[in-house]
Structure 1
């Protein structure tokens, strides 16, 4: 079976996954977007409550900010032929008083090793937030998210660009780190524009 033939049934398997059902307060609803031709891979953390309700990745305020960072519109963002959206946890993990819970630990080890190798045309991976950075970069992560993102040039040379989560909760981080918008975002937009033109 070719990678083109393999992606579609695998996505169906992911969307039918009930591995963590007993741990999910609102039940399973895996959210993922990908195709064998995707050139940009965006690895997020896990769907929030609004995304769980709609079934559409980044269909929330965080998604709006992310699309602004990338300088692309919704139609482009949701074109699976060009952009894959593969979180560390495919289902909404529930909430605590401090925000959403971490992605379920069973998810990425179960599905990423089967899905990511099929995305052979990916030229750039965006690792959004600390859980995605830990999953994608592993020991190459810095001691903190800020350290990891500040080292973005070294990571970009390896095809990965670490980003903070675009959640409104991170507004204070963005104010403390003006270099992110001044230095990193222009390079991010240029890289994405080049990929999507290719």
Structure 2
């Protein structure tokens, strides 16, 4: 697929109104605003869950404290992170799904990935590593090889990045503050996974900033 083909696909994604056309009671709680950033030259894909309120308001992915932590994990600055010629950013659900009434966000809409994920991956032929952030991205990108829990999946990361997946997938927890307790219980993520992640980011992306 050429860059022009990708541009056309991104335009269709950004114009998508699948959720808006659902029956009453199943629609989004706001006007659709799909958020996806990519160029065909990107070698690294950040596959998140769905935009939050701040991302919905700005149209900028990971433009929130979770994004700050993710960039720290990757060892890069904002300029490098948002360089779409090097890094594609595509959540499993492109629109903010609304909140659950308990202070958290709802899961990504189920309509989104079946409609757009396969065409988008086909349009990004140079991707050499997928950062699958959270259970929804891991479910799609790892399929039946995903573990029963997020901890089981992330702890098996070597098998996914060194196995037969094409492209390889690095499963990661979401960088939200809600996972602070998980990070404390699993210090191996910082000591084992993050050094590998930063090395791969340097190899695929280069850039500056971070540590």
TM bucket (normalised to shorter chain) is over 0.9
In the aligned structure 1, how far is the partner of 2:152 from the partner of 2:31?
A: 35
Uncovered stretches (5+) of structure 2, i.e. residues with no partner? none
Stretches of 4+ moved more than 6 A in 1? Answer: none
In the aligned structure 1, how far is the partner of 2:151 from the partner of 2:177?
A: 17
1:69 and 2:78 aligned? no
1:11 and 2:10 aligned? yes
Task: Report the Cα offset of residue 55 of structure 1.
Answer: 0.4
Matches within 5 A, 1:134-173: 134-157=139-162, 158=165, 159-173=168-182
Please provide the CA RMSD for this pair: 1.2
Q: Which residue of 1 aligns with 2:91?
A: 87
Q: Which residue of 2 aligns with 1:175?
A: 184
More helix by share: 1
Deviations 1:48-92 (A, max 9, x none): 011000000000011000000000010111111000001100000
Q: Normalising by the residue count of structure 2, what TM-score does the alignment of the two structures yield?
A: 0.91
In the aligned structure 2, how far is the partner of 1:97 from the partner of 1:197?
A: 41
In the aligned structure 1, how far is the partner of 2:17 from the partner of 2:107?
A: 18
Uncovered stretches (5+) of structure 1, i.e. residues with no partner? none
Return the match for 1:57 from 46, 56, 61: 61
Task: Report the Cα offset of residue 26 of structure 1.
Answer: 1.9
Task: Report the Cα offset of residue 100 of structure 1.
Answer: 0.4
Determine helix, strand or coil for the equivalent of 1:127. strand
Q: Which residue of 2 aligns with 1:114?
A: 119
1:189 and 2:198 aligned? yes
